[in-house]
Amino acid sequence: MPTSPGPAPFVHPSEIVFQVGECPKTETFCVLNPFPHDIIFKVDNPYPNICFLSLQQGLLRSSNKVYIELTCTSAASPFEGSLQVRFFKCSRTRHSQRPHVQQYIGFREIKLVVLSSGNEKERSATGFPECSAGSSSGSIPGSKSVGFSNSGKRFQIVSSLALVFLFLLSGFVCNQINETWFATNIGAVTPHTCAVVCYTLAFVLLVRILTLR
């Protein structure tokens, strides 16, 4: 579980198991970003003499995933430890395409286990097809979160477009109202002022839709 200022992306599986005598052997884990912003991830490997990572850091875009190979190169005795995957929120400046780290948002741990024999308690480190983004049948939290994130984004866009239409319509109606009637029934605010407010709100919502990632 993450210890962080905010929610962190997901890793799957949370435990990888090897056995003494079968090394070198390679397993794969998935890092999944269900959030609407890009993430920089860094994998801390405190056991370079025991295992090797195919990728130690990289950029993970919104609603995307990456697979990393973990190879147990040498294990002479039973062992238990953990790898830590740290996450940083990042952005790109207006004049640069290079990602810039903004904020540390947390980490996830992957338990690393080396068993002495196959007779010990069986541990599963499979199930990677379930890590597909947006899959309704996936069993990991990350896959469901991506689906919910995409659905929520679509709902937000549709509702914002509806509000833009309503504000534009309200502004048009206000412009057509007689100022004398408006002053008598509403007060000191003029129809033109109400129309400007409605058009401004519509413009703000439209900009928000266009910049929504």
* pTM summary value: 0.49
pLDDT digits (tens, 9 = 90+) for 168-205: 888 888 777 777 766 666 666 777 778 888 888 888 88
Q: What is the CA radius of gyration of the chain?
A: 26
Residue 9: is its pLDDT beyond 70? yes
Give the domain ranges of the chain. Answer: 10-117, 152-211
Confidence band, pLDDT 50/70/90 cuts, at residue 76: low
> Which fold is adopted by the domain 10-117?
Immunoglobulin-like (2.60.40)
Task: Give the residue-averaged pLDDT of 69-83.
Answer: 82
Give phi and psi for 73, each to the nearest 5. Answer: -90, -30
The pLDDT value given to residue 93: 55
* Contact predicate 41/60, CB 8 Å: yes
Length, in residues, of the chain:
213
Omega into 7 within 30° of 0, i.e. cis? no
Share of the chain above pLDDT 90, in %: 10
Q: Could you give the strand order of the β-sheet that contains 57-60, starting from the edge strand earlier in sequence?
A: 15-19, 99-115, 79-92, 39-44, 57-60
